[in-house]
Structure formats: structure tokens, C-alpha cells
Amino acid sequence: MSFENISLEKGMYTHPTKSFSAILEELDPSQNYVGTELEGLDAFGRQLKRYNIKVNGSASDCINKFFSTTASSALFPEYISRAVKTGIEEANLLPDIVAATTKINSMDYRTIASVPDDEDKALMRVEEGAAIPQTVIKTQSNLVNLHKRGRMLVASYEALKYQRIDLFTVTLKQIGAYIARQQFNDAVDVLVNGDGNSNAASSVKCATSGTLAYADLLSLIEKLDPYNMNTIVTTPGVMMDILNISEFKNPLTGINFAGTGKVGTPLGAKLLKSSAVESGKIIGLDSSCALEMVVASDVEVDYDKLIDRQLERAAITTTAGFAKIFNDASAVLSI
């Protein structure tokens, strides 16, 4: 089937397990366009081209272009969803702290966890004929707390119809950034306080209250052993305190920051700043095994309101939660 012959309608948003883009891709596979001028566009991109809707750049169309036909108006919710997702991706710090992402189709999810003791971590030698030590994996007692995060988009079609799509995209990307920051707040809360299964992070105190020294960061590494502290999350203010420690003033660190904009540390850990962390706290974690993200719904929009009522009020939401994987793969240093 040619992309120009596909019938677009809002019912394509109601499939319980497939997104609008996935349905389009099934009807119009991108592999059919390899070696053509349309190679590089996905099925949604080809529909934009079909209706000559330009969404990027200074020459982008006005929003009313989406509503020039009944069929093209069905593309509007997917455009909004993609713009919001772009904003989430650009502001998202979760990939730096999440070890695994689980997608579910319900609002109830009970994760698994292993709580090894010191003997389990040592992986003792097994003598001939002896029983092999066990690592026990159990289902957690409490369900993962899922939170719906989002924004209500309020505007009339008349107010926006002559605005450029490219400008509107900036607003939608900011909504995505708000969602990303709030989800990171949720993740930090679980890292520190646990997910309701008596698994709060262990605590370390600075040797001298109110003063941060290099030795204090080393004690945080020791607390996490045998896990590898590859990520540090703290407030912007404490981040400055860390960078002012003499051991962090290596000239190569400054060169790397000036050239890439990324802050390196002599501890070999990625340094992230976020106001989600409580003042005076430093979270150290092994990002490869500390946290699981549970996603109950991707970015969703009220397609009926966006198509039939031409915007007015439309909710943009996503539902997700977080769970600890290995309880002692994260620790908190208090200054």
C-alpha cells in the first residue's frame, strides 16, 4: 500500500498495545523505501510529506495546516507526542542512573530483588561434593508506586492557528523537560528513601560536620563496596564544593570541561547536579544495578480534544515509577 492511499482517522490512537506510529509503520513499512528519495523518513514523516506539512525551521507551516483536511488533522496528536518526547530526551538524566526499564500494561507491578549478605558477595569456594551457595531472588512485598506526570495544554485553535509549528514545538519541548525533571525527582526519592520495601539507602556522614573533604568521598566509595560507584548525584551548590576540593583541580579536568562541557572527576564517577537532591546530601550509586524504571504508559495525549475540538484543553501525560534492584548499590553522604 502506498503512503498516499492510507486512510487516517482518530481510531488509530485507540489500539491497546500499538501506538499511532506503529500502526502507520505496519501499513506503510519504511523498508519499502530503501534506495528512494523517501529513505530516512518513517511512516509518520511520509504522511507529513503527503500533506505537505513542514514542522521544522523558519519556513515551517502554521498550525492550521494540520487542520486543512479531516485526514491530516489526525496527525496533530502524534506531532504533539513527538515534540514532548523530544523535550524529555533533551532534559533526561534518567539514563545515567537507571539500570533497567520495564514496560507494563497495567497499573500494578511487583518487582523482584536480591538481598545478598557479605558471604554471598564474596562468592566462596565450593569444595568437592559440597552444596553450591544460593542467590535468592524474591518478589518484593509492596507494589511499585506509579506516578502520572503531565501538563494540561490550554489554548484555542483560533489563538494558535496562525502560529508557526516550529515555535509551538518549543513550548511542547518545555512540557517534556518538565516531565523529565519530575521523573528524575521520583527516581532520586526512591534511591534515597527506597520503594516502600524497607530498602532505603545506607547513610555516611562527613568526618567533620558541615565540611566536605576528599576523604569523605572515599568513604562513600568504601560504603558501596563491592559495587562500583560510577555516578554521583548532588545539588548544584554541593557540586561546586566538590569541584573546589584540591584533588579535583587537576588541569586535565578543566581542559575536558572546557572542551566537552562534561565534568570529570578523579574518582572516575559521572557527576550529575539536580535540585531533586536534598541540600547537603551526595548520592553515590552503581548505575548498572541500583535502579529500575517501570513505565505504565508512554507520552499520551487527548486525541479527541486535539482533533474534534481543535485543541482547547488537552492533557499530556506519562505514567512511570521506580524500584530498587540491589538495595546497597546506592548510599547517601551527609555533609
**Tens digits of residue pLDDT in 275-290:** 999 999 999 999 999 9
Residue reference for cell 530483588: 113
Q: CA–CA separation, 145 vs 183, rounded Å?
A: 12
Q: Strand 100-103 and strand 270-273: pairing? A: unpaired
Place of cell 545539588: 235
pLDDT at position 133 over 60: yes
pLDDT at 108: 85
Angle at 179 between CA 93 and CA 92, to 5 degrees: 15
Q: What span, in angstroms and rounded, lies between the C-alpha atoms of 70 and 51?
A: 11
Averaged over 63-74, what is the pLDDT? 92
Looking at residue 243, its pLDDT comes to: 86
Residue 212's pLDDT is 93
Q: Please tell me whether residue 280 adopts helix, strand or coil conformation.
A: coil
Residues paired with residue 101 on neighbouring β-strands, in sequence order: 293
Instruction: Decide if pLDDT at 307 tops 80.
Output: no
Q: What Å distances lie between residue 191 and 171, 286, 287, 324, CA to CA?
A: 31, 11, 11, 7
Question: Residues 166-203: pLDDT tens digits?
Answer: 999 999 999 999 999 999 999 999 999 999 988 999 99
Q: Is the pLDDT of residue 43 over 70?
A: yes
Task: Grade residue 46 by pLDDT with cuts at 50, 70 and 90.
Answer: very high
How high is the pLDDT of residue 256?
Answer: 66
Q: What pLDDT is recorded for position 315?
A: 86
Does the pLDDT of residue 262 top 90, yes or no?
no
CB 65, CB 176: distance < 8 Å: no
pLDDT(330) > 80: yes
Distance between CA 273 and CA 24 in Å, rounded?
39
Q: Is the pLDDT of residue 83 over 60?
A: yes
The CB density around residue 12, as the number of other CB atoms within 10 Å, is 21
User: Could you give the dihedral angle defined by the CA atoms of residues 90, 94, 100 and 105, in that order, rounded to the nearest 10 degrees?
Assistant: -70
Q: H or E element: which one contains 334?
A: strand 330-334
- Of 97, 88, 268, 264, whose CA–CA distance to 182 is shortest? 88
180: cell is: 523529565
| Reported pTM | 0.85
Spatial neighbors of 167 by CB under 8 A, at least 6 apart, are: none
3-state secondary structure of 40: coil
Q: What pLDDT was estimated at residue 261? A: 61
**pLDDT higher at 162 or 48:** 48
pLDDT higher than threshold 70 for residue 109: yes
